[in-house]
Amino acid sequence: MMESSWSWLPDLVLESILTRLNPLSGDYFRFGAVCKEWYKITKENKSLIHSATQIPLLMIPSINKVKSRRSFYDLTNSGRYDSLHSLVPYTIKACGSSYGWLIFLEKTMQIGLYNPFVKHSRKNRADIGVIKLPPVMSTPNAIPYEYSVYKVVILFGNPSLTQDYVVAAIYSATNSLAIWKASSRVEKKWIYLKDVREDLVDKSYTDVMEYKGLIYAVSASRGIISIDPFSRTGNNGLVVKEIIGWPFIFRTPTYLAESSKAKLFIIRRIKELGDYYWHNNLKFEVYKLKDDFENSTEMEQVDSLDGDAIFVGDGKSICIAASDFRNCKPNTVYFTDDGFMLPTRYGEVHWGPRDTGVFSLEDDSIKPHYPYDDSTQKFLPPAIWVTPMF
């Protein structure tokens, strides 16, 4: 007797259904999550999704508040995708997200890349959805290990599709910058920028991205630098150049994002001063380099994103054309908190991840984008943007 199952539908029928789905919607990902055969068809047709810009989903606690897994929330549809849950415990703080991969810091100080959109085997963790990088630094003594790495970003490609990707890490209490190249023919180790060009390279980094074939990093004290990780002429294979400098600004988180029109946006997060000012967001200021990009050393403030929307937080900063997505608001900054409640050895605590919302450049207003429950989530890490990819 033949077993009746959706998994036995002919490939041509499944492919026909898949082509009728919007690759930018959650239905595309739910299709791949039905069963092994449907996931296989989705993966074989991944060009549909990799050729399109994706809107980030917000990774949040599961609907039943089980701390061993997380769910995803679509802000544009106000919908929760519990079928696309991740088996990563929500009590673990992610230190980054890029190309659909989550980045975590282990107690050994190893950096782990985890793809929540790949079906993992509980018995065999050594699959394409789990990548282990060497420790970026020794175990810190003064602060919990989760806070010793501020942000990790995957650059120049999805590790599922290429071996030429690069990983950049902002680490230590001084927010230094290190680079790791997956394609390196020599011993794969971190390259620390403080040893490359001391006259140009400073600390206090807050964000890093790829732009026009180079790595761009922003420092609160120095400004913006570019790094060529593929050059063979520089020290340690890196060539560093200062793009633009500015005076030191105390504790002003700054992000970098490429617009849908290939412009470089510089986003400054302005917070209210006070005892807990890092959790009282006032507004965002957005700048862009002047049009003469090759020789530009100046930036100008803008009051419009040309219809784009920017997503910032602990993960890779993302900029999309709002018109491509239903209910996505143009000329806005979607933001998540960059801290959570932490008991200290002195009994003090920091406020939970409540500083989230949508900032409008048109009227300087801030509105909520996800219902935050202070009573149950204040001891949990902040939500993080994840761009779904297979």
- Give the mean model confidence (pLDDT) for residues 286-314: 82
Domains of the chain: 1-52 (no CATH), 55-386 (2.120.10)
CA distances from 299 to 181, 196, 255 (A): 30, 26, 14
pLDDT (tens digit, 9 = 90+) per residue, 307-335? 999 999 888 999 999 988 878 899 999 99
Q: Are 66 and 82 in contact (CB under 8 A)?
A: no
Bridge partners (DSSP) listed for residue 254: 268
Q: Are 286 and 333 in contact (CB under 8 A)?
A: yes
pLDDT band at residue 354 using 50, 70 and 90 as cut-offs: low
At 146, list the tokens: 């989760």
Bridge partners (DSSP) listed for residue 181: 166
Q: What pLDDT is attached to residue 256?
A: 95
Q: Of 7-21, 136-150, 312-326, 340-354, where does the model show the most confidence?
A: 312-326
Bridge pairing between strands 94-98 and 223-228? unpaired
> What is the CB-side half-sphere exposure of residue 379 using CA atoms within 13 A?
5
Bridge pairing between strands 357-360 and 308-312? unpaired
pLDDT (tens digit, 9 = 90+) per residue, 5-34? 666 778 888 777 776 665 545 566 677 777
Q: What pLDDT is attached to residue 124?
A: 44
CB atoms within 10 A of CB 234: 16
pTM value is 0.80
Which of the 8 DSSP states describes residue 295?
G
- What span, in angstroms and rounded, lies between the C-alpha atoms of 237 and 221? 25
- What span, in angstroms and rounded, lies between the C-alpha atoms of 355 and 279? 5
| Nearest Cα residue to 280 out of 335, 339, 355, 378 | 355
Bridge pairing between strands 332-335 and 308-312? parallel
pLDDT (tens digit, 9 = 90+) per residue, 77-124? 766 655 555 556 556 678 889 988 989 888 788 898 988 776 655 544
Region of 39 (left: φ > 0; alpha: ψ -120 to 50; beta: rest) is: alpha
